[in-house]
Chain A
């Protein structure tokens, strides 16, 4: 556990962080959020002593960070910043293996670890010999996460790690991070100014304003009961929609679909299922909805896949962006699991809205 105890930081006479008392639980993602200048990054950097606290203390598993050697403290804490933090003159392998090397691991162990991480972040092995400039923004950021994980630290500090990435890639990076966190169970402190990101990733969210805590709770409670106007404004007028990001698409899955081969389309006369997924050899060609078919529209629509962790909000946004009605849920181990329809997801939202307004 990480405990912040009466933690303050002041520059000259001005407090940028004021008397914080917070506990971050092991294995959870705790998100620090607030407008710029609220002290979120300062708080984060005090944990690995990139910034020295002016007052108060930080304890990691009961031991004060001042009782650690500064350098050893940092080697034991993973640190992820925006993509620029990769060292451009090091290959991907050298970037990832930097901390293990400093920790004095032998070469065999280092190589094994790097390969393990490359697999984890879904990076082809051939990329390990490349330089950062040869990678895309999303790939670089995944390498940034891998580099922070290399020394197998218990704690990860992440300072707006996905901030410089375009929205679509940011979503997939978030999904990727949720996925790996499920098995890694690191204690993560995550700084962001994106409320959707905070709700999606956070087990706990800490809302900061002018260096002080406004509200510290899980996303569900923050969305249900924002403590004051400031938090309400931060959540925005559409906070009921944001609640959809706490629900998994998988829980609203429909299974009355059938996979058919492309040449079979012409033979279809009636639908028993409400969705046909059309395949040709191993490629998915598209889908046809029962309703469309009965109205005489037989052309295939574009098929979109999501994984089993995708939340309802991301699913809806994806559908709206691409102008489609149906998403197929496909997981790596089990293949196609079923589908989600836009109408069904919107009904979930309506129901929520109704319940909230009658409370």
Chain B
């Protein structure tokens, strides 16, 4: 507790950086991920989508420390590397959830729309996307949670996130530092997830 009070301003700074790089990496991952997710659910792109997701799935199975280090070898030290690796890390769940929930929409519903005279774009916007929102949301929540946790690793390439407290705490064997770092990361993750859940409930009244 003393540690927390004595270092409040530094912890606050680290927290802000932590949130900052999480958002800066997750937001583009969400936008591009949904776009790719839609693309991969179209008939002509399904096979390509499978290959793409397979490849990125393998990338994701590389431990985050190794992965961040790997990207670092190419792009060097700094915030750019951190954001890039988090971006790659979090885009997969978004694509995957978007594609799979789009593919699972019952054919009848789409055909009903078609039969009523909706064109392809209208079917996507008025029927397919709203009906797969639940899946898309769960992709977003997964990727955000992953990124909030993985952002701690960014410390190894010199971006000071909450990982710094944990890393130093580990080196000097300070249990209180480990606790403070871990708990704050967890609280951020829970808060964001809660926020998204609220948004989701508001949007999905019809379920």
Q: A50-B114, A89-B206, A133-B206 are in contact. Are A71 and B119 (CB under 8 A)?
A: yes
Q: Kindly supply a per-residue 1/0 record for chain B positions 121-146, scoring 1 wherever the CB is within 8 Å of any chain A CB and 0 otherwise.
A: 01000110011000000000000000
Q: Which of A25-33, A76-84, A222-230 contacts B (4 or more CB under 8 A)?
A: A76-84
Does B12 touch A at the CB level, under 8 Å?
A: no
Q: How far is the CA of A72 from the CA of B117 in the complex (A)?
A: 7
Q: How far is the CA of A131 from the CA of B206 in the complex (A)?
A: 6
Q: Kindly supply a per-residue 1/0 record for chain A positions 274-293, scoring 1 wherever the CB is within 8 Å of any chain B CB and 0 otherwise.
A: 00000000000000000000
- Chain A, Cβ-Cβ closest to B110: A85
B207 CB contacts on chain A under 8 angstroms = 88
A170 CB contacts on chain B under 8 angstroms = none
Does A98 touch B at the CB level, under 8 Å?
A: yes
Secondary structure call for the B interface: helix
| Distance (whole angstroms) from the CB of B81 to the closest CB of chain A | 41
Q: How far is the CA of A86 from the CA of B126 in the complex (A)?
A: 13
The answer to whether A74 touches B111 (Cβ under 8 A) is no
Does A245 touch B at the CB level, under 8 Å?
A: no
Residue from B108, B109, B117, B127 in contact with A75 in the complex, judged by beta carbons closer than 8 Å:
B117
- Chain A, Cβ-Cβ closest to B115: A79
The answer to whether A87 touches B118 (Cβ under 8 A) is no
Q: A79-B112, A84-B106, A133-B206 are in contact. Are A99 and B131 (CB under 8 A)?
A: no
Q: A89-B131, A131-B206, A133-B206 are in contact. Are A84 and B108 (CB under 8 A)?
A: yes
The answer to whether A102 touches B108 (Cβ under 8 A) is no
- A-B Cβ contacts below 8 A, count: 61
Does A141 touch B at the CB level, under 8 Å?
A: no
Q: A87-B127, A88-B131, A99-B117 are in contact. Are A81 and B111 (CB under 8 A)?
A: yes
| Distance (whole angstroms) from the CB of B202 to the closest CB of chain A | 13
Does A48 touch B at the CB level, under 8 Å?
A: yes
Does B182 touch A at the CB level, under 8 Å?
A: no
Q: How far is the CA of A102 from the CA of B115 in the complex (A)?
A: 13
Does B116 touch A at the CB level, under 8 Å?
A: yes
The answer to whether A81 touches B113 (Cβ under 8 A) is no
| Distance (whole angstroms) from the CB of A242 to the closest CB of chain B | 30
8 cross-chain CB contacts under 8 A: A48-B115, A71-B119, A74-B116, A76-B117, A81-B108, A87-B109, A102-B116, A133-B206
Known: A85-B112, A87-B126. 7 other contacts (CB 8 A): A71-B119, A72-B117, A75-B116, A75-B117, A89-B131, A98-B126, A148-B116
Residues of A within 8 A of B (CB): 48, 50, 71-76, 79, 81-82, 84-91, 98-99, 102, 131, 133, 147-148, 157
